[in-house]
Amino acid sequence: MNLIKLKNDIDFAIKNKYSIKVYYTDNKNINYNDSTINWLYPPYIVKNYVPEKIILEIESYFKNYNDLLIVMYFENDDIIHKIPLNLPT
């Protein structure tokens, strides 16, 4: 997983005071018929405020999870941005 390309997005989230969470689940919890996802695990909450450290933190935490759907959420009061980090095969 190479997340360095998301550095500008993470900068944007930090500057605009978004919370950053990473949701993940296995392939069995994705319903492709109606496009719903049951997040099997609680979200990984990013508490760092340095983009490079956030990238390293996420890459390190999820380095052995190539078979999971992994989506990063930028959340504030009004908006949620969802960025897929890994799609299961």
Q: Total structural domains in the chain?
A: 1
The domain that contains 36 carries what CATH number? 3.30.190.10
Mean pLDDT of 73-84: 94
Q: Phi/psi of residue 33, each to 5°?
A: -70, -45
With residue 31 as reference, give the H or E element that holds it.
strand 30-31
Mean pLDDT of 17-24: 95
Q: What letter would DSSP give residue 41?
A: S
Mean pLDDT of 5-9: 93
Residue 40 belongs to domain spanning: 4-86
pLDDT tens per residue across span 33-65: 998 999 989 999 998 889 999 999 999 999 888
Mean pLDDT of 62-80: 92
Read off the pLDDT band of 89 (50, 70, 90).
Answer: confident
* Confidence (pLDDT) at 65: 85
